């Protein structure tokens, strides 16, 4: 259309629109022309490179709409133009544009300056002066180098921003955007440099505010740690938006406690969680805990939850907090932005931002910005607080579910290491079994938090219950696997809104039994690493153990056991999966720490803790050590009995004599004689020869009778008129525990008495 301008120019003289007529006339595409300064386009550089023709004279006039937008039309009244720079455009730019345009000679002295007739005196004063001096640039040498580079560069103009002092002497610095382009005639002779200077302070302020918000959005909340989140907030704001940033948090929030409701009561302590910037004399170091002084802007913000812009020159509240006031003076801070960190009406803390020395003071426009960044940061801090709260509960629950001080066992000495950072789902146990045997178990739930602790507690309870049945390790794990599948089905049946519905149950476990009489260890694994076996000479090897399916997995495969005999003083090391590489490698940190079996077990646990790296995957990992010995000869006795009616009487005589050697009291001996008599009587009546009686003095007194019959005894309640059937009932009344365990060549029926504690 005839009324469509050839091009559109903004108030800075930059081409923002380029029509198809302009493309045909000047030979420049819109992609080349848009974004260039109009004087660079018409002054020869870009146009000459493109081979374009300037044609008739041009006419410049403002467009309707936003102020400062200009259109350029061909001047129909003029013939073919010979003017190099388009007189109409140049005249308009020098007399009507609000952009400061300067023409400099090759020595960078001002030849012409744009301005209205009212500015004639100012314009006259600037002529002939070096350009670097006329705008109050802070880096005068840098500005001069930039403009001189444009003088010697052939082609596109360049743009750069520089800081300058305000002409009226007010505080702060301005941001001036300087565009420079070479001026030359048709013959290519350099005439000087054209410079356009635009006050970009407001634009840069807006960009700085947007950058601060963007930095907080993308840089804060990457961890679930309250202190780390506070440090991220400081790093996001310093030095791009503030010279100094301080984040103070209610002390209880750092420990995961619920935030305090509004308003914050006087005297509530705040912890300085993070600080950064050019502070030379901090009032309070990071980690300092103290209440906010009343009568200060900080106390006011915590009382009404309104952010504040506070000039710091001659602050009337300085006497209320002299230490902080002294720190502010030493840092050269002149303005403060302080905002509360609040969430749903609760107070988590506050953030304080300072600008110092030559930095531009904060303005009222910064208040919405600090409110927005404080609101977002408060959400991230609260997420970290809630995680810390849940982590504390999960860690406490996990430690309550683990054995604190495992009881001493005959033939086995144990110690354990639980790496810092609980809530990982790792657990262990030592279980007293019949016949002075010991069960050793370690497991790991593949999730974290409270769910891991509760699942761990369920599995540990099941293992203890199954171990009391004297099951072999593969049998025990098979039943534990069935239980885990049932728990997994229960999870799948939960409502879809329940987080556990989307979290499949996955766990691993290894279970071993150690018999001090044969010094035999029998192990089975459900997806867990095999234990490390360390000989008394320090040699170490991983037990050759088939790895069965993990607990909760859909894979259904039988579990297998491995049995091996241990030398006196050997050591077993059971560990979490995170420690596997450190144990199985010959140069692994855990193996190096444990290949000194002569040292006390607790020292070995400490050595492992010192040697293992401080990595995230090892947080909450568990190590269980067991040093094995044979059964002391003075703590048991065994006899083979005849398979006839004389066996009970013979068993009573042998028992009485042995218990006298052990100095047991009369009540214990009487109960033991009755138990032995009934056990042997049942074995003679229902069992198969040979019969073997064994007495064990361990944590209690255990009486065992072994025969080759697979028939299991069972307790029944005899009627009043019955003459028999009361043997096992009598045993159940006299013994604290009784049961039967099976082997390929028969069974063992046992009963354990609790003995009174020895006198101190």
- Check pLDDT > 60 for residue 615: yes
Model confidence pLDDT, tens digit, residues 363-391: 999 999 999 999 999 999 999 998 888 77
Same domain, 638 and 554: no
Mean pLDDT (whole number) for 303-312: 91
Give Cβ neighbours of residue 546 (< 8 Å, ≥ 6 apart). Answer: 525, 560, 562
* Domain end position, chosen among 133, 158, 189: 189
The pLDDT value recorded for residue 318 is: 86
Same domain, 609 and 692: no
The pLDDT value recorded for residue 23 is: 82
CATH number assigned to the domain comprising residue 533: 3.60.40.10
The pLDDT value recorded for residue 47 is: 44
- Check pLDDT > 70 for residue 52: no
Q: Grade residue 394 by pLDDT with cuts at 50, 70 and 90.
A: confident
The pLDDT value recorded for residue 81 is: 44
The pLDDT value recorded for residue 718 is: 45
Mean pLDDT (whole number) for 19-23: 83
Assess if residue 172 is contained within a domain. Answer: no
Assess if residue 113 is contained within a domain. Answer: yes
Model confidence pLDDT, tens digit, residues 316-341: 888 888 888 888 888 889 999 999 99
The pLDDT value recorded for residue 48 is: 42
Assess if residue 401 is contained within a domain. Answer: no
Cα within 13 Å of Cα(348), Cβ side? 29
Share of the chain above pLDDT 90, in %: 35
Beta-strand relationship, 691-697 and 701-707:
antiparallel
The pLDDT value recorded for residue 501 is: 67
Most confident region among 423-437, 444-458, 511-525 by mean pLDDT: 511-525
Same domain, 261 and 309: yes
Least confident of 93-107, 447-461, 468-482: 93-107
Assess if residue 397 is contained within a domain. Answer: no
Cα within 13 Å of Cα(302), Cβ side? 27
- Check pLDDT > 90 for residue 687: no
| Residue-averaged pLDDT of the chain | 83
Structure tokens at 70: 């200009």
Number of domains within the chain? 4
- Check pLDDT > 70 for residue 612: yes
On whether the CB atoms of residues 440 and 512 are closer than 8 A, the answer is: yes
Q: What are the Cα distances from residue 365, in Å, to 17, 298, 502?
A: 32, 20, 46
Structure tokens at 686: 């229902």
The pLDDT value recorded for residue 220 is: 93
Same domain, 471 and 371: no
The pLDDT value recorded for residue 593 is: 92
Rounded Cα distance, 687 and 579, in Å: 48
Least confident of 31-40, 287-296, 393-402, 414-423: 393-402
Same domain, 423 and 549: yes
CATH number assigned to the domain comprising residue 705: 3.30.565.10
Rounded Cα distance, 66 and 706, in Å: 104
- Check pLDDT > 50 for residue 676: yes
pTM of structure = 0.64
Least confident of 75-84, 264-273, 731-740: 75-84
Residue 57 structural domain: 7-167+177-189
Same domain, 689 and 727: yes
Assess if residue 429 is contained within a domain. Answer: yes
Between 356 and 421, the higher pLDDT residue: 356
Model confidence pLDDT, tens digit, residues 193-236: 888 888 888 888 888 899 999 999 999 998 888 999 999 999 99
Same domain, 531 and 581: yes
* Domain end position, chosen among 362, 390, 418: 390
The pLDDT value recorded for residue 45 is: 41
Model confidence pLDDT, tens digit, residues 479-514: 999 999 998 888 888 887 777 766 788 899 999 999
* Domain end position, chosen among 604, 628, 652: 628
Mean pLDDT (whole number) for 98-111: 80
- Check pLDDT > 80 for residue 542: yes
The pLDDT value recorded for residue 129 is: 84
Between 156 and 544, the higher pLDDT residue: 544
Give Cβ neighbours of residue 422 (< 8 Å, ≥ 6 apart). Answer: 391, 394, 395, 398, 399, 620
Same domain, 365 and 456: no
- Check pLDDT > 80 for residue 679: yes
Most confident region among 68-82, 124-138, 706-720 by mean pLDDT: 124-138
Same domain, 686 and 589: no
Rounded Cα distance, 333 and 138, in Å: 20
The pLDDT value recorded for residue 280 is: 55
- Check pLDDT > 50 for residue 723: no
First to last CA, the chain: 113
Mean pLDDT (whole number) for 294-314: 90
The pLDDT value recorded for residue 92 is: 57
Same domain, 18 and 132: yes
Residue with tokens 């504040």: 308
DSSP 434-459: GGG-EEEEEEEESS-HHHHHHHHHHH
Q: Grade residue 9 by pLDDT with cuts at 50, 70 and 90.
A: confident
Mean pLDDT (whole number) for 141-158: 78
**Where does residue 703 rank: exposed (0-12), middle (13-18), buried (19+ CB within 10 A)?**
buried
Mean pLDDT (whole number) for 95-106: 73
Assess if residue 759 is contained within a domain. Answer: no
Between 682 and 229, the higher pLDDT residue: 229
Structure tokens at 473: 């390790």
Share of the chain above pLDDT 70, in %: 87
How many angstroms from the chain centroid is the CA of residue 315? Answer: 41
Between 369 and 717, the higher pLDDT residue: 369
Same domain, 62 and 163: yes
Same domain, 71 and 127: yes
Rounded Cα distance, 620 and 172, in Å: 53
Q: Grade residue 272 by pLDDT with cuts at 50, 70 and 90.
A: very high
Assess if residue 469 is contained within a domain. Answer: yes
Rounded Cα distance, 606 and 611, in Å: 9
- Check pLDDT > 70 for residue 79: no
The pLDDT value recorded for residue 123 is: 65
Mean pLDDT (whole number) for 511-535: 95
H or E element at residue 194: strand 190-199
Assess if residue 402 is contained within a domain. Answer: no
Mean pLDDT (whole number) for 537-551: 91
The pLDDT value recorded for residue 134 is: 80
Strand, coil or helix: what is 667?
Answer: helix
- Check pLDDT > 80 for residue 290: yes
Mean pLDDT (whole number) for 630-649: 91
The pLDDT value recorded for residue 127 is: 78
CATH number assigned to the domain comprising residue 301: 3.30.450.40
């Amino acid at each position: 259309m005839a009324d469509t301008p050839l091009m559109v120019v903004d108030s800075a003289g930059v081409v923002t629109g380029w029509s198809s007529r302009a493309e045909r006339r000047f030979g420049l595409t819109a992609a080349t022309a848009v974004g260039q300064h109009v004087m660079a386009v018409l002054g020869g550089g870009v146009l000459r490179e493109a081979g374009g023709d300037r044609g008739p004279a041009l006419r410049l006039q403002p467009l309707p709409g936003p102020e400062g937008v200009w259109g350029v039309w061909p001047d129909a009244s003029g013939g073919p133009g010979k003017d190099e720079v388009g007189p109409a455009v140049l005249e308009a730019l020098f007399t009507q544009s609000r952009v400061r345009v300067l023409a400099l000679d090759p020595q960078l002295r001002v030849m012409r300056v744009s301005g209205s007739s009212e500015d004639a005196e100012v314009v006259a004063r600037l002529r002939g002066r070096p350009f670097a001096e006329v705008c109050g640039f802070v880096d005068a040498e840098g500005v001069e180098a930039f403009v001189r580079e444009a003088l010697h560069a052939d082609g596109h103009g360049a743009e750069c921003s520089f800081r300058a002092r305000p002409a009226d002497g007010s505080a702060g610095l301005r941001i001036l955007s300087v565009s420079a382009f070479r001026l030359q005639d048709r013959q290519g002779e350099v005439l000087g440099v054209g410079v356009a200077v635009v006050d970009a302070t407001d634009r840069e302020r807006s960009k700085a505010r947007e950058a601060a918000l963007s930095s907080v959005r993308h840089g804060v909340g990457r961890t679930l740690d309250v202190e780390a989140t506070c440090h991220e907030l400081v790093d996001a704001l310093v030095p791009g938006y503030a010279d100094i940033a301080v984040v103070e948090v209610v002390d209880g929030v750092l420990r995961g406690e619920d935030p305090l409701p509004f308003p914050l009561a006087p005297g509530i302590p705040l912890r300085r969680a993070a600080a950064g910037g050019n502070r030379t004399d901090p009032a309070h170091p990071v980690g300092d805990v103290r209440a906010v002084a009343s009568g200060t802007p900080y106390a006011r913000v915590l009382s009404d939850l309104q952010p504040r812009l506070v000039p710091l020159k001659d602050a009337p509240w300085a006497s209320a907090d002299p230490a902080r006031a002294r720190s502010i003076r030493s840092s050269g801070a002149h303005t403060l932005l302080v905002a509360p960190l609040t969430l749903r009406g609760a107070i988590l803390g506050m953030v304080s931002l300072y600008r110092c020395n030559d930095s531009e003071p904060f303005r009222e426009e910064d208040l919405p910005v600090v409110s927005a960044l404080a609101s977002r940061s408060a959400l991230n801090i609260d997420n970290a607080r809630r995680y810390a709260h849940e982590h504390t509960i999960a860690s406490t629950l996990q430690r309550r579910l683990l054995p604190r001080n495992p009881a001493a066992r005959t033939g086995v000495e144990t110690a354990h290491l639980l790496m810092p950072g609980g809530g990982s789902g790792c657990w262990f146990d030592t279980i007293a079994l019949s016949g002075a045997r010991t069960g050793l178990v370690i497991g790991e739930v593949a999730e974290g938090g409270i769910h891991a602790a509760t699942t761990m507690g369920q599995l540990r309870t099941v293992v203890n219950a199954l171990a009391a049945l004297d099951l072999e390790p593969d049998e025990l794990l098979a039943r534990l696997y069935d239980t885990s599948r049932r728990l997994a089905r229960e999870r799948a049946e939960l409502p879809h809104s329940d987080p556990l519905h989307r979290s499949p149950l996955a766990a691993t476990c290894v279970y071993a039994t150690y018999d001090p009489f044969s010094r035999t260890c029998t192990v089975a694994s459900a997806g867990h690493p095999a234990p490390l076996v360390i000989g008394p000479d320090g040699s170490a090897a991983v037990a050759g153990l088939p790895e069965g399916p993990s607990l909760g997995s859909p894979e259904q495969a039988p579990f297998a056991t491995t049995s091996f005999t241990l030398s006196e003083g050997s050591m077993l090391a059971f560990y979490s999966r995170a420690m596997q590489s450190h144990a199985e490698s010959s140069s692994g940190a855990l193996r190096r720490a444990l290949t000194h079996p002569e040292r006390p077990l607790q020292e070995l646990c400490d050595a492992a803790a010192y040697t293992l790296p401080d990595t995230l995957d090892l947080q909450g990992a568990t190590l269980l050590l067991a040093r094995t010995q044979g059964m002391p000869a003075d703590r048991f006795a065994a006899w083979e009995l005849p398979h006839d009616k004389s066996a009970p009487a013979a068993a009573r005589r042998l028992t009485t004599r042995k218990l006298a050697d052990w100095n047991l009291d009369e009540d214990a001996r009487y109960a033991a004689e009755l138990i032995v008599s009934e056990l042997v009587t049942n074995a003679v009546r229902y069992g198969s020869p040979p019969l073997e009686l064994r007495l064990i003095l361990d944590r209690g007194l255990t009486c065992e009778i072994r025969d080759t019959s697979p028939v299991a005894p069972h307790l029944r309640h005899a009627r009043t008129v019955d003459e028999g059937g009361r043997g096992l009932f009598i045993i159940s009344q006299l013994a604290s525990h009784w049961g039967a365990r099976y082997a390929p060549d028969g069974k063992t029926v046992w009963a354990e008495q609790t003995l009174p504690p020895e006198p101190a």
